[in-house]
Amino acid sequence: MTRRRAGQPAKRRRGPFSWRQTVQEGLRVANAVVRRMAPRAGQRVVAGREEGYRSWDPEVIGVDTAAERAIIGALRRAGVRGTLLSEEAGETTLGTPFNRSAPGTEPVYVIQDPFDGSLLYRRDIRAHWFTAIGIYGQDEKPRAAGTIDHLTGEIILADAAGAVRIPRPGARALPLRPSGTTTLDGAFLEAYLMKPPFLYATATALRPVFERARFILGNGGPYGFADVACGRIDVYFAWNEALTEVFSAVYIAERAGSVVSHWDGSPVRFRPDIHAVYNLVCSANPRLHEQVLQALKGITPPKGLTP
């Protein structure tokens, strides 16, 4: 029998490779970093974005890069290789050439929003702090996706087996159930409204739709899709959303049975373009989605922002 020397770390047993577990581990390490990070260090501006990318949101703070580095480390330890498309790092190579000793690690695209809610974090407003990770194959088909709420610890995951939420650390996984709302009148809607360039343009363009709602949540990005998948929101409107804020989490809504399309009803397809922007609508069910598309006829998505 081979003995392990004192102080030598135990080798982790490798089970069957799972994209869902890989995403979950990335979310877990990001959450650990966010929870232990000193606010002053997390709020400090540490970098700027490359020219031409998200010019309206140019600053990168400590919590952004710390979460991103933690996720990249977890992906590399899992043997993931391919292309990383991340809000902070942009587009970069991930991992090493194919390793036959690490089965299941086909080359993939990893799309991530390492820390969503940076401006709120900078002002110590404890709301809407999320991380999202999506994985797509070279065939541009989804493998898995997940989100974590850093304030509650809730994890939401999706893969070919389905979509589930783990309400808190240690809780059992529960299947996602979108709402049964079938009419736009009195529905709960979500659209990003926090930054003034989004607030006024969105409220103006979508006023005919908003006036029919019972409640409007002014959040967006990856968790908009998760909110619909979980049944908390009936319809999420996204406009000029970056690739990292869409494909890091849209698969969750799709696997939960929600309907996602462009505003004109055309299907959504993943393309590995870090500069792409999307105008999408995500509805809880097909019947509601048809009503939403009818309401959107004649409404032009707002313009003016680029990723």
Q: What is the pLDDT of residues 241-256, one digit of tens each?
A: 999 999 999 999 999 9
Residues of the chain with CATH 3.30.540.10: 19-175
How many residues in the chain? 307
Q: What percent of the chain has a predicted confidence (pLDDT) above 90?
A: 76
Structure tokens, 121: 């974090």
According to DSSP, residue 2 is labeled: P
Q: Which two tokens stand for residue 41?
A: 């260090």
* Nearest-5° Cα angle at 76, 115 to 42: 25
Structure tokens given for 11? 């080798």
Q: Among 50-54, 190-194, 205-209, 289-293, which is the least confidently predicted range?
A: 50-54
Nearest Cα residue to 83 out of 4, 140, 18:
140
**Cα 139 to the center of its chain, rounded Å:** 20
* pLDDT tens by residue, 40-82: 988 888 665 555 555 555 578 889 999 999 999 999 999 999 9
Task: Centre a 10 Å sphere on the Cβ of residue 40 and count the other Cβ atoms it contains.
Answer: 8
Domain with CATH 3.40.190.80 in the chain: 188-296
CB proximity list for 155: less than 8 A, separation 6 or greater: 24, 27, 28, 146, 147, 148, 165, 166
pLDDT computed for residue 271 by the predictor = 95
CATH of 188-296, one of 3.40.50.2300, 2.160.10.10, 3.40.190.80, 3.40.50.1860: 3.40.190.80
- Report the C-alpha gap between 177 and 257 in whole angstroms: 8
Neighbouring CB atoms inside 10 A of 265's CB total: 15
Fold for domain 19-175?
Fructose-1,6-Bisphosphatase; Chain A, domain 1 (3.30.540)
And the tokens for 101? 């000793």
Three-state SS at 246: helix
Entry pTM: 0.89
CB 61, CB 46: distance < 8 Å: yes
